[in-house]
Every structure is written in C-alpha cells, then in structure tokens.
A and B are shown apart, each in its own frame.
Chain A
C-alpha cells in the first residue's frame, strides 16, 4: 500500500504546475539575428569546447556531420538581388521537449535548471529523440571517432568523449555552469551572478549576438532582451516552449 501512496505522492509532485519555478535558475539564451553575421565562430568554439568529433570528408558527404551548433543559411530573392539570412541553430532546451517524452530509458530529461540534459551512459541509441526533435539538433555517433596525434591533446578534460551508438547535443556548456555554481558556493553565495557563466559560443561571438543568462533574475541581460518587441521563438506553433529566444533581423529596406 505504501508503495502506491509513494508513487501517487511522486506523481503529484511531478505534475504540480510550476515545479521548475522552485529551482534557482532557468538558463536562457537570446540570439540577436540583427547582430549575427554568420561568421560561424560559435560553431568552431563549440567544437573545441565540447570534444565534438571531426568526422571527416566522407561522413560529411553522407550527411553525418556533428555540430552541436550550426549556422543555417537561407537565401532570399533571385540573383543579383539576394539576401542571406543566417540563423544559428542549436538545442533549444525546450521546457516541453518532445525528445524527453519519447526516450524509452529516460536518457534525456529536464533538469532543475531548465536544461534539457542528455545522459550518454544511459543512451541505448534508439534515435527516437532525433526524430521527435523539430529543430534537428540532436547528433548521433554513427561510429567511434578518433583524434589524430596532436589533436588528442586538446580535448577538454571537463567533457566526456562519446562512444558509438550514443546521441549527443548542445548542453549549454553544462560543465561551465557547474563550475560557476561551485565557485559561487565556495564564495558563500547562493546564486550565480549574471555574467559569471558563458557557454563557449557566447564567449566567442565577436558581435555579441548571443546573450546567455538566467531568466529568473529580472535584471540579467537576457531578461532585459526577452522584453524586446523583436523577440520570437523558432517554430512557436509547435508549443515546445524553447529556452532560446531569437530577435528578428531588422530589414534595412523595409524600415
């Protein structure tokens, strides 16, 4: 009997609205498309930070690229009157993530900081999360990767190297968030201050198009951006409730 009571108690806990509100953080990123030049520095930074394998020419030709962050390019108009639209695309850390419900082993779940976390050790490789993700930001390890002689020395020791048969994706550089939290705790503070933690892409962006922070803190840079009238989320109609907010590009001609 107590087993059922216990289960029901947990069920109600889980179903309580605003469950995530009780935690300290709700990490959010804004992408200002008006500032983005499509230079792909963020892509490189991400690759270096997160030990993402360099898959090589053959794999790219077969459509098996591994980029936790990619810059999507869309061309508008006919030559010579063309416009390039560049949209950085990475895991949107949806609060109502389709990938989380489908994983049969709960290898991907929502953690208390509003992050969509991936447990590599638990993943059995059904790849259903990648099918369910409308943003196509989940990457599968089709085989084991290796790093040639000098390159293996630059692997980030804070990030694991994934084996074949495992799904992986953007983590908002969870290792950096963890470090910032630990540092804050060592200082005797309860919360990480705004600006203390930046994912590799945000740190690298030369035009400061990417801003990262805690939505719970009303004064954080990211919270201020959210009120912008240009703000929107990609594929809003799917109700995935993403944690990445894009700011619309201002068209010089239209203005």
Chain B
C-alpha cells in the first residue's frame, strides 16, 4: 500500500524500520551469497595469486608503475567523501531532507574507505610489510618518512575512518535502543550491547545532540583534508600534468561529485528493495540532483582550467602530456569521461529528470563510471608520457586487475548488505522529527471544540 509521507505515524516508523532488520526474505540471502561469492572469486583469489606471483600479475610496466589499483583507491576514497561530509554539512545547515538518507550515506563512507584500504594492500609490492608505513614505536627506532605525502595519506585516512565510524555509531545509538526494545533473542542481546544503555532521558538527548554537532563540525575539514592529501600523492611529484596546484580542489570536488552520485545509486536500491518508498521520496532525488548539477559544473570548470594551465605553460613535456591525454591512445576514455561527467549531467537542469527515479539511477551510475575513468586517466596518461621520450610507454590493465576491480565492487556490496541488517538504515528518531507530532491533531481538535 502506497502511503504519503505526511500520513506516516510514529509507530509506523519503528515498525517499518525494525521490519527491515528482522524480516529477511530469500531474495536477500541470494543476493548476499552472490556478492560473497564474487568477492571471493574475483577479489581474493586473484589477489592471492598476485601475492604468490608478484605485482607482475597486473599490467603495470616500466614507465607506468601505478595502475588501476591506485585509480580504484582514489575512486573508493572519493566515493567515501559524500557520505559523512554531506551528512555533516546538511546537519549543520539543518536540512530536513537529510534525515531519511544520511545513515546509508554514512555507511557508504565507511565501507568505501574499507575497500580503499584493501586497494592499498593490493597495490603495494610487499603488503606483508605495510605496517611499516605506520608510526609505531619499535626497538630499531625506525620511523616512517614524515616528509612523504603517502605517509600523510595513511594518517589522513586512518583519522577519517575513525571519525566517520564514531559519527555513524553515535548517531545510531538511539535507534539501536529503539530496536533493542522491539527485538528478542540474539538480536536483543546484540542491540543491548550496541545501544550502550540508552534510556532516552533529556540529559542523554542533550549530550547526544551536542556531541553529534561537535563531531559534524570536526569532520568537515577532516574530509576536505583527506582528499587534498590524496591529491598530493600526485601533485607533489614533478610529473608533467600531475604537478599542479589545482589538484587538491580538483580531487575534493571530484570526490564529492562521485560520492553524491553514489548516494543516489544507493538510495535508489534502498528505496526499491527495502520498501522505503515513503521515506526516500522525490524530494531527496530532486535535492541531490541539484547538488549533482552544481558539482558537475564546478568539476567541468576545473577540468577546463587544468587543460588551459597545461597549454599556457608552453612547456614541451607538459604540452606532450596534454596532447597525449586529449588525442593519444587513451583519448576515447577521456572523451567518454567528458560525456558522462560534464555533458550528461546537464540533463539535471530539468526538474522532471531530477524527480524521475530510473533516469537518475542511470545518470548516477554513468557519473561514477566517468569518475573512475578520470582517476584511471590521471594515473595512466601522465605516467606514460614523462620527460624522457625513451621511457614512454603504454599501460593496459591485465585480467587480474579488472577482476579485482569487479571484486572490490562486490566487496562493497557485501559490506553494505550486512550493514542493512544490523544498522537501521534509515534513522528512526530523525525521521520522526520531520513528521507532525502525534498530539498535533488532538490539540487542534481541543482548540476548535
């Protein structure tokens, strides 16, 4: 039965969302099984092969020593951006429409960060020594290199992961308590632990509100710093077309852009398969569509700036790098990116497009394909054309790399599928804040009689 948003009662919110946690159909198990199988077969199996054989299992070669693994890393970090960042910004600006969607957006942040961390493990030559990049006290007094942007990266991502985990968990405590009171058996025990003895007193709500806003303010600059630092991995090199000051804002905008598109995709799926039609409505798609349009324009602007900066420099290496990007071996990918990320999003100008679900889904997926291409091009084209023409080369990803890319998407889906059965994926208490108070009608009745 289709209900309108205004007709929902407080009890319905609890019922609907607890139902999404406890009632699990066969379709869920089949999807989960497929996701787990793909993760094992396409991610872990090729990765173990690569651990045994060496990075040579991937397609990287002498000038292009970075490849799709690093592109995937930036992509997942980028995807992680919108969730918590957007949720924080909207929380501070008191946007009502945030309340139904922020939990799943934050979960997206968390899981894409985890997948990004896995991509680092896949990327490095000797992942069994990856802990050397962490500053832990040791008897040999060996420390990581504090001058290295990669080292900043490790720090920034760890901080962001910690911050986002605390943020999503803290925001869920009242919901865990609500679910705790309505479940039995092992679920009840789990939620007793997770809700940390929440009773719903005024003091508790007050403290939660204060701490939540505090964290939101803290996380915004943190999120901006994370992708700036990721961009420094590239911008701090002296590789032509990577050594650019625009890279930090470029990466941050790109990250929020692909992340917002990711939220649209996730919301479509949640709406469709978790039966949240009356919580996630056209309003959300409309607002996210406007945001996407603004982001796509900023993104296009930065791309134009990047091209013109290279052109005006009139430096031979820079010009060659630019020529190769626009018209070289990878040119079809470049124009595909322009089509998906700069031209297609112009459709969002139309309100009818923004409020249609399926076209929005298709566009959001197209944007993320384009954004993945962007990350691949940043790594691929720049490294193939550097200063010495003798060391020019072409890089094509191998089957192992493509398989790991598919596997990483499946890993993200697996994590998300587990999430929707443990966390209330729509915030119970914040959705209630958007509904009319239960006694409102009664008060009116009393006033008129």
Question: Chain A: residues with CB nearer than 8 A to chain B?
Answer: 59, 62-65, 70, 72-74, 89, 98, 101-106, 122-128, 130-132, 134-136, 139-144, 164-167, 235, 238
Contact = CB atoms under 8 A, between A and B. Distances in A.
B390 A128 contact: no
A105 B125 CA distance: 13
Contact of B65 (A59, A105, A122, A140): A140
Q: Is the interface of B mostly helix, strand, loop or mixed?
A: loop
Interface residues of B, number: 45
Contacts of A134: 238-239, 386-388
Given A98-B238, A131-B239, A131-B383, A73 B54 contact: no
Nearest to A126: B124
B154 interface: yes
What are the 7 A-B residue pairs with the smallest beta carbon separation, nearest first?
Answer: A125-B125, A165-B125, A142-B56, A63-B61, A164-B54, A143-B54, A136-B391
Contact of B145 (A62, A104, A132, A235): A104
Interface in B110-136: 123-127, 129-130, 132-133
Contacts of B129: 105, 124
Contact of A72 (B65, B148, B233, B388): B388
Contacts of A131: 65-66, 237, 239, 383
Interface in B40-84: 53-56, 59-66
Contact of A98 (B60, B237, B393): B237
- Most central of A59, A73, A124 by chain B CB within 10 Å: A124
B150 A106 contact: no
A125 B63 contact: no
Contacts of B27: none
Interface in B192-242: 233, 236-239
Contacts of A89: 388, 390
A229 B54 CA distance: 47
Nearest to A73: B390
A107 B297 CA distance: 42
B348 to A, nearest CB: 36
7 contacts: A63-B64, A101-B148, A102-B150, A122-B142, A128-B66, A134-B238, A165-B55
A144 B388 CA distance: 28
A125 B69 CA distance: 13
B185 interface: no
